[in-house]
């Protein structure tokens, strides 16, 4: 076990909730994360945005603390942080506080999650906030282009929708919709709670268990709609807009987090577009001067995934930038990655992971995310060993599998036609 990463203890309580603890006796903070396996892909079109809306409402008042102000002051009053995030398959709430305030953190988070008020008046206020959040992302082309890319990657599917929903769907959500969704999805057997910091496993259980309250009628939480195979032809989704910069996202379907190749795709992504020594940065930015920001990313889900590339560029250079990116994808298929470059990518990935583990909040989410999504936890030394096992032949094989698919491209900028872009990815 690396020196800064603790072993974990996992226990399933009689209620069905799973508790994961990682004891770090010398840390000055304790982090608590509550992860429900629910997110935007579990929603119907009419419900779009309900998971995200509910996440907001948990902060708007609880039976024990009353108002949103009281909840915030309880944690911020001791210097702590309290936050949450909704993804496509997971909703996570987390707090980090000084080590002697663990009981307060459990009390606040427990009251928020199991005794929320969800009052009509507060809901209407928050509806306006969520609508402004949607508009904010739509007004930010470097963010909005990612949503367009998801639409074209998973057309007519929940995975292709924005996590926050649409303005129409959010306006249509009622208090009854939120309460029904809460009772169907936010169940104890759908919950993983992780604690990282100077608490023993037994101390953590004794703090947490009294706050857990049953929900639902005993039925299993609804399943999500399976993903669809990528049988698409190359496509371009263009949003014509007067912007100073063109924003492009392109990519393909990729392995899921359950796939045997999940670490190979991570290293392939590192070689391609992670950091200032990656191929995309060195070629598209440094050598050709076509973009200030160019990078790639991987998003892995239960039964699918995506490898995407983003670039922001001068509109007159946008098609050329796309051509340069596609050339780098072809190069990965045709030329083996050298051993020095592969070693650098492995060390980059492992180093970033280990540095993140210096934070109790990352330790909590590392263990909790695996258990919530995969139903199993892989120790970090096993992850590091799998990274070290990736070969140049693995990278070439996976690159050829990935880029034999049709590329999908989203563009925002002052363009009248998709044709120049379609020509580059066809």
* 305 neighbors 398 (Cβ within 8 angstroms): no
400: which 2 tokens?
């050829």
Distance between CA 84 and CA 268 in Å, rounded?
30
Query: Quick one: tokens of 321?
Result: 């930038």
Backbone angles phi, psi at 12, to 5 degrees: -95, 120
Sequence-distant (≥ 6) Cβ neighbours of residue 109 within 8 angstroms: 32, 34, 82, 93, 95, 211
Decide if 55 is catalytic. yes
* Identified catalytic residue from 23, 55, 150, 328: 55
43/163 Cα distance (integer angstroms): 10
Q: For strand 29-36 and strand 191-197, is the pairing parallel, antiparallel, or unpaired?
A: antiparallel
Catalytic residues: 55
């Amino acid at each position: 076990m690396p020196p800064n990463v603790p072993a974990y203890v996992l226990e399933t309580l009689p209620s069905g909730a799973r508790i994961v603890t990682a004891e770090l006796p010398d840390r000055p903070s304790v982090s608590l994360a509550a992860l429900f396996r629910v997110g935007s892909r579990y929603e119907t079109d009419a419900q779009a945005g309900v998971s995200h809306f509910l996440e907001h409402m948990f902060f708007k008042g609880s039976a024990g603390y009353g108002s949103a102000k009281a909840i915030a002051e309880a944690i911020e009053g001791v210097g702590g942080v309290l936050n949450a995030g909704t993804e496509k398959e997971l909703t996570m709430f987390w707090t980090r506080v000084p080590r002697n305030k663990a009981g307060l953190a459990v009390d606040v988070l427990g009251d928020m999650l199991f005794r929320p008020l969800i009052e009509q008046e507060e809901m209407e206020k928050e509806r306006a906030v969520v609508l402004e959040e949607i508009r904010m992302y739509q007004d930010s082309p470097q963010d909005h282009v990612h949503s367009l890319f998801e639409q074209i990657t998973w057309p007519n599917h929940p995975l292709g929708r924005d996590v926050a929903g649409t303005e129409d769907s959010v306006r249509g959500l009622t208090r009854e919709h939120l309460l029904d969704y809460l009772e169907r999805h936010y169940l104890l057997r759908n919950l993983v709670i992780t604690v990282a910091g100077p608490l023993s496993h037994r101390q953590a259980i004794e703090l947490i268990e009294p706050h857990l309250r049953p929900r639902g009628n005993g039925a299993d939480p609804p399943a999500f709609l399976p993903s669809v195979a990528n049988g698409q032809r190359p496509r371009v989704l263009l949003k014509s807009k007067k912007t100073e910069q063109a924003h492009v996202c392109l990519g393909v379907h990729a392995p899921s987090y359950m796939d045997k190749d999940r670490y190979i795709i991570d290293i392939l992504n590192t070689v391609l577009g992670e950091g200032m020594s990656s191929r995309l940065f060195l070629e598209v930015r440094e050598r050709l001067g076509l973009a200030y920001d160019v990078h790639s990313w991987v998003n892995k889900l239960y039964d699918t995934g995506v490898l995407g590339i983003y670039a922001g560029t001068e509109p007159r250079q946008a098609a050329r930038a796309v051509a340069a990116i596609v050339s780098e994808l072809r190069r990965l298929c045709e030329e083996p990655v050298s051993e020095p470059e592969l070693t650098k990518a492995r060390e980059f990935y492992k180093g970033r992971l280990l540095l993140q583990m210096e934070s109790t909040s990352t330790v909590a989410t590392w263990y909790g995310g695996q258990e919530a999504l995969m139903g199993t936890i892989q120790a970090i030394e096993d992850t590091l060993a799998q990274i070290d096992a990736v070969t140049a032949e693995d990278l070439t094989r996976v690159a050829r599998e990935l880029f034999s698919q049709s590329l999908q491209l989203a563009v925002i900028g002052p363009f009248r036609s998709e044709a120049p872009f379609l020509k580059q990815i066809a």
